[in-house]
Amino acid sequence: MSLKILSVVLLVFVLLPVYAQEQSVEMIQPTDRGTINVGLSTIPATPNISEQTKFKINFINKNTNAIQEHIDYSLTVKKGTTQVFGIPITHTADGSVTIPYEFTEGGVYQVSIDIQGILFQPIPTESAVFAVSVGSESDDTPQPNGCLIATATFGSDLAPQVQFLREYRDNTIMVTASGSSFLNVFNTVYYSFSPTVADIERNNPFLQESIRAGITPLLGILQIAKLSSVGDGEISVLTSGIIASSLIGAVYFWPIGLATRSMRNGTKLKIKYVVVIISAVLALTLISILTGNVQFMMITTSSTILLLVGIGAMFSAWLIVKTIQRVKITFL
């Protein structure tokens, strides 16, 4: 139990600076005819002019609350009566899309999502309309956005390390439903403390250097995970997450693995139980991806990450103990 608690706490402080990106709370409402629900969120949570905003749209089956696949839709963005952006009728097989747009003026915009087909069957047009407030460059209160701690660590949002973390997050993790679901879990926690930590770090060179040293191995791990991912879409994100989580556990959490070994007092860990648990969690993760249930994916993807971090830590601790034993035998 203590291992699980420590793993959760340390995982928050080590992983969140990389993965987190501020995303607004999803607004969900039915279409005007009530056939389907539509969810809309924005990245960042408060869009600003001259900065790219991403509209995250989920089409939700009103009976199952799962993502509805194969939707024909179009999108219109208006300010008042003037249309400023639009997407013509488009088909999404996944039922979840992310659309980038850069606002040029502040104010309140109407985002209209029109649905014209479900499961390859045309339907009379149904609409869901959302209001999105856009800030301006002159706003006095800056909104948190991106990897705040990593930016404070490397001194600039344009630092190569920060750009790599952003690119990995946006172009590898955020492009899939499972990746977005995983990020949503961490974002809630990360932005509750990261602005304070980043402010303290900027005024404390020793802390800044310490965090930089801690993040540096993580950059290498994510490079390996990115290069080793297999396939496209959900499978690519899943394999990348498995590799990254296992290596992060091995590199960062081996002290917890050693502590757990000492608490077991020589009791051997039964491998077959570990295999069963890993298989069950991965199976549930795949089921959540196939069903498209966002809440289920948030639980299963986070559980998978935590489990693999723990497995990586235990394996690293086992390897360290075996190495020390061999060294002792060699010198005796």
At residue 205, does pLDDT exceed 90? no
At residue 327, does pLDDT exceed 70? yes
Task: Report if pTM > 0.75.
Answer: no
State mean pLDDT over 33-54.
87
User: Who wins on pLDDT, 46 or 209?
Assistant: 209
Task: Give the pLDDT of residue 4.
Answer: 46
Check: CB of residue 95 under 8 Å from CB of residue 69: yes
At residue 16, does pLDDT exceed 70? no
- What is the set of domains in the chain, with CATH numbers? 2-21+144-331 (no CATH), 27-134 (2.60.40.1930)
User: Who wins on pLDDT, 136 or 295?
Assistant: 295
CA distance 177 to 298: 10
Task: Give the pLDDT of residue 225.
Answer: 85
Residues with Cβ within 8 Å of 196's Cβ and at least 6 positions away in sequence, in order, are none
Task: Give the pLDDT of residue 56.
Answer: 92
Q: Which tens digit of pLDDT belongs to each residue from 120-177? A: 999 999 999 888 888 754 444 444 446 778 888 887 777 888 888 888 877 777 767 7
State mean pLDDT over 233-259.
83
Task: Give the pLDDT of residue 332.
Answer: 52
* Res. 259 pLDDT band, cuts 50 70 90: confident
Of 71-75, 182-186, 288-292, which has the strongest mean pLDDT?
A: 71-75
CA distance 136 to 76: 21
Query: By mean pLDDT, which of 22-31, 81-90, 281-290 is the weakest?
Result: 22-31
Task: Give the pLDDT of residue 269.
Answer: 61
Mean pLDDT of the chain: 79
* Res. 7 pLDDT band, cuts 50 70 90: very low
